[in-house]
A = this chain, B = another copy of it.
């Protein structure tokens, strides 16, 4: 007889939830919301079909947890970083080759598509966006004041977010149209016209 003939290995609730969330994000990334299926998610996570409903109340709540995971890093703030470092970090992270592979266009499209339907998801989405934007407004304002430049920080933040999102979207949809370097430069050029010279890195 073999020694380890166990049919499956147990994990504690937290660890298994993480596995399932990662599998869910992978499914979203590979085939959008149509691929976001109990069957396929469980297959991705190498667990049986019924397990996901043991760890999550419903599919909707599961999606909420996935959104939480996907956006957590966007609202984290490094208190040791300067305003400029915060802004530059945001741009660099948005167009970094490594993190880029992970953040998947289709996963985001799917999530955004669901925001209109699911009340709780929309609430979390709004809340995350407010924090994300306020952090940026604060940094832009700080930087402008340090440089004695008179601008509307709210407007500049909105424009920068739009530019980043638009470039990101455009790159994902037509990756051979331009490079990530070009996208980064576009952002820095915009910042320079608004806030003067920025040391990009």
Task: Give residues in A with beta carbon < 8 Å to B.
Answer: 31-34, 105-106, 109-110, 112-117, 125-126, 129, 133, 155, 158-159, 161-167, 169-170, 173-174, 177-178, 182, 186, 189-190, 193
Contacts and interface: CB of A to CB of B under 8 A. Distances in A.
B161 A163 contact: no
A155 to B, nearest CB: 7
Main secondary structure of the interface of A (DSSP, over half): helix
A46 B178 CA distance: 45
A113 B116 contact: no
Nearest to A35: B117
B163 A169 contact: no
Nearest to A160: B166
Given A34-B34, A174-B126, A193-B193, A155 B182 contact: yes
Contacts of A165: 165-166, 169-170
A158 B178 contact: yes
B163 A113 contact: no
A74 to B, nearest CB: 14
A33 B112 CA distance: 12
A169 B113 CA distance: 11
A165 B173 CA distance: 12
Contacts of A173: 112, 115, 125, 129
Contact of A33 (B32, B105, B126): B32
